Structure 1
Amino acid sequence: MRVLIVIPARYASVRYPGKALVPLRGAKGQAKSLIQRSWDAAQAVQGVDRVIVATDDDRIRAEAEGFGAEVVMTSSTCKNGTERCAEALDALGGGYDIVVNLQGDAPLTPPWFVEDLIAGMKAHPTAEVATPVLRCNGRALAGFLDDRRAGRVGATTAVFGAEGKALFFSKEVIPYTTGNDWGDHDPTPVFHHVGVYAYRPSALAAYARWAPGPLEQLEGLEQLRFLERDRPVQCIEVYARGQQFWELNNPEDVTRIESILNDLGVA
């Protein structure tokens, strides 16, 4: 099966404009842009035939081409990364069995998250869309709850059924856990949604034709468009293996990500 990774990136991020070009310093003090670190993360994934950056911004294109990335220009009307992936695949003329959306704000995504996601798609041949979920320990859950109490948009959480089909995704912390107390390393019933997706080309083509539904608009989560159209999303559990994972959502996340890069020894 031919696998394509698309890294969608835009300059006009609502919460953090220009974040794709924000420099992140690694363990040796070397600064690389967020889009370059996301590209590096994609290059570490095994079993992939091609990696591209999909953007509508010439500044991002220049930066990406400067470090050797292949870039596909997409329109400024794309509402989210899934629409951008659909447009990029169309521009390439298809030819891939699985398209992975490795969002350009997740440079700490371990390669095995994506490899396990691709394996999950192969193991569920009827799945049109799949996405990784990571069980929170007590420390991570406490951080999510602190973010919400402070009014910060932190991680997205997911709930799913016995066979892994998604029931809902939210920027709130679900399911409800207030009153429960877990130790820092205890497993909890809350799953962090890792913002990576794998699609069949048919699912991408259908998605691009649908208008956003009310839940997608309220939560600001693109994957809800599939659920609102009764298209199942397969959740694939992944494991951190001791590695910290975080996305760059807000300016204050820069320090946190740089600290993790330093701890990992990533230059």
Structure 2
Amino acid sequence: MKTVILIPARYASSRYPGKPLVGLRGPDGVTKSLIQRSWEAAMQARGIDAVHVVTDDERIREASEAFGASVIMTSDQCENGTMRCADAVTRAGLDADLIVNLQGDAPLTPPWFVEALVDAMHDAPDFQCATPVIRCDAHTVDHFRADRHAGRVGGTTAVFGRDMRALYFSKEVIPYTPENHELPIPVFHHVGIYAYRPSALAAYQGWQAGPLERNEGLEQLRFLENGVPMACVEVEARGRVFWELNNPVDVARIEEALARMG
């Protein structure tokens, strides 16, 4: 199964303009851009045939090519990462059985997250798309709640059925749990990676954003609102923390995590 990783990145983020080029200091004292660290994370996954940065911005293209990445330029009208991946597949004529969207703000993505996702799609040919989820501990749930109480958009949570089909994704902490350190019902952090069949990406391009997607600002809800099931693949952290870079305050958190990783 030919598998390609695409890393969508845009400069004009409403919450954090220029985010892909923000510097992140590593444990060796070297500062690299967010997009480079996300690309390096993608390159660690096994069984991947190609990795491309996909963007509409020349500054990101130049920075990415400078550290050795392949770049596919896309339309500046792409409204989210999934649409940018679909546009890249069309423009570049990519020949792949599976496209993985590893978002450009996820430099802490462990390679086994991507590998588990690819394996799950290989084993379940009926699923058109899939995404990883990770079981939260009490500390992570408290972190999510603190972000929401401070008015920040933090991590996304997911709920799914016994068949692992996603029921809903939200920027709120779902399902409801009392605010203490006992979690009677597991809370799952949605990891911002997706795997799609080419046919799913092609269909996505023809749909308009629905009310749930517009309200949450979560692109994956477009699949659910159009009746396309998304598999949730549970992965394990193995002692690693996983934060996306959503807000300027996350820079210090990610640098701290990089330092712990060594």
TM-score normalized with structure 2 length: 0.98
> Alignment identity in percent?
63
1:169 maps to a residue whose letter is F
Contact preservation (8 Å) 2:5, 2:50: yes
1:72 Cα deviation from its structure 2 partner = 0.4
User: How far apart, in 1, do the equivalents of 2:258 and 2:184 lie?
Assistant: 25
Residue 195 (1) aligns with residue 179 (2):
no
User: How far apart, in 1, do the equivalents of 2:180 and 2:247 lie?
Assistant: 28
1:167 maps to a residue whose letter is L
- Superposed CA deviations along residues 99-157 of structure 1, whole A, max 9, x for unmatched, are 00000000000000000000010111100000000000111111111111121111000
User: How far apart, in 2, do the equivalents of 1:164 and 1:20 lie?
Assistant: 32
Corresponding residue of 1:104: 104
1:90 Cα deviation from its structure 2 partner = 1.1
Contact preservation (8 Å) 2:15, 2:247: yes
Corresponding residue of 1:87: 87
1:95 Cα deviation from its structure 2 partner = 1.2
Structure 1: gaps spanning 5 or more residues? none
1:63 maps to a residue whose letter is A
| Secondary structure of 1:82 counterpart | helix
Contact preservation (8 Å) 1:136, 1:188: no
User: How many aligned residue pairs are there?
Assistant: 262
| Runs of at least 4 residues off by over 6 Å | none
Contact preservation (8 Å) 2:177, 2:185: no
| Secondary structure of 2:61 counterpart | helix
Coordinate RMSD, CA, aligned: 1.1
- Superposed CA deviations along residues 184-232 of structure 1, whole A, max 9, x for unmatched, are xx79510000000000000000001111111101000000000000110
Structure 2: gaps spanning 5 or more residues? none
Residue 152 (1) aligns with residue 152 (2):
yes
| Secondary structure of 1:189 counterpart | coil
Contact preservation (8 Å) 1:137, 1:187: no
Corresponding residue of 2:65: 65
Corresponding residue of 2:34: 34
Q: Go from structure 1 to structure 2 and tell me whether the alpha carbon gap of 1:19 and 1:187 turns closer, same or farther (over 3 Å shift).
A: farther
Match of 1:215 among 195, 212, 218: 212
User: How far apart, in 2, do the equivalents of 1:95 and 1:21 lie?
Assistant: 29
